[in-house]
Structure 1
Amino acid sequence: MCGRFAMPWDPDELADRLGVNTNEDARSVAPSYNIAPDATIAVIRRTADGGSLLAGARWNLIPAWSDTDRLPYPTFNARVESAADKPTFRDAARHGRILIPMLGYYEWDAPRTPYWFHARDNRILLAAGLLSIWRGMPTCSILTRRAEGRCAEIHDRMPVVIPPSRVQPWFDSGTDAQTALRGADRDGGGAVRLLASHPVAPLRGDGPRLIEPVVSAPRQGMLFD
């Protein structure tokens, strides 16, 4: 799963780094090293003319057919293996494929030690996500896949990270949901080798100190080969 991540740039700086435009929804996105579900986060949407737009969305997907924005189950994550078939995510998998930019994300092992996952060169990671508009409010979910390699030693799930070279296939509206999600799952497996991780202190508050390594914890500096 992915229940916490970091995106420490304001929307204008992030849009500049990504080379995309922004909309008004993006203005409500606050930079943070400790982003939790229900926060308004930055997402990259494909526009009608084929361009890319940085927008804002609430991180907990609500399907358009729902009578309430408080579902009895969490929707901040969706399994890439089944999202195309689940009523909650089915429409978003067809028509709402997005990317969620992040510096990195956190995951906890069985003893509840948090680990910080990031690109080896600290580039912006692009996680595959799904977007649903509920009564005019954009809402979203981050797709997860089965963890592989040493990543699986920390947790059995991980976000679906899309390499930059595979962004266009993910956004291709001519690709059906099942095919797009299968492709994203494969691409996410290949992205494992791009990641590094290290243990960090329990997440409290905010700021860059949250991603500093704790040298006394096991598996410090682990690389995914």
Structure 2
Amino acid sequence: MGNEKRLLWAGFMAILAAGVGFAIRGGIFDNWAGEYGFTGAQLGAIGGAGFTGFCFGIVVGGVLADKLGYGKLVIVAFALHVLSAIVTFGASPTNHQSAYNFLLWGMFIFAYANGTLEAVANPLVATLFPQNRTHYLNILHASWPLGMIIGGVLGWILDDKMGVHWKYQLALYLIPTVIYGIMFLGQPMPKSEASKKGLSLGDMFKDVGILGGAVVCFLLAIFFEKNVLGNFMGP
């Protein structure tokens, strides 16, 4: 293909953007508590949406990667990263319930984008470098802690030292987001190994088994009961 290294570093930048955004969001919970008057339980629910969205992104992205291809999923993740900022910035201190919903779903969308990128980046790098996967996957995975460090330091300086409003802090993750979008733009993507081998979705799910499928359904039911239906009834 000839663009293996560019795709590697594009994936690196994508996961770095996820780490920066995750760290900054974690650091502004106290700002949200002060500005919107949220309880600890409400802040916990918002934070929990981040972990739930990440899991959904990995699961759904992993299933669709072989059908849609890596390129389309990158577009989805990029769009969701931008959308999550728009949704989060829509939170207004004049409406407590509305602010809660905006922040919770903004967190979920952001995390879903992160999970989608993980579902793309790992198999993409493994496919690009079949002879040296461990080395290049280690490079890719270094981007997450690096992003966390960068986001944490930026949050400490801008929030604790300079008192910058949380919306300006959070907007910083859009910088690496735009960069990875540009790096991926117009690049040809390889087919996944499952697509090359002609494996169907059913073939790939055989390893999950009935018990694994039941566990997934149970967890999905809990999520929709507590987070989706519960949010319409109030925090």
TM-score of the aligned structures, taking structure 1 as reference length: 0.27
Flag the structure with higher helix content: 2
Flag the structure with higher strand content: 1
TM-score of the aligned structures, taking structure 2 as reference length: 0.26
Larger radius of gyration: 2
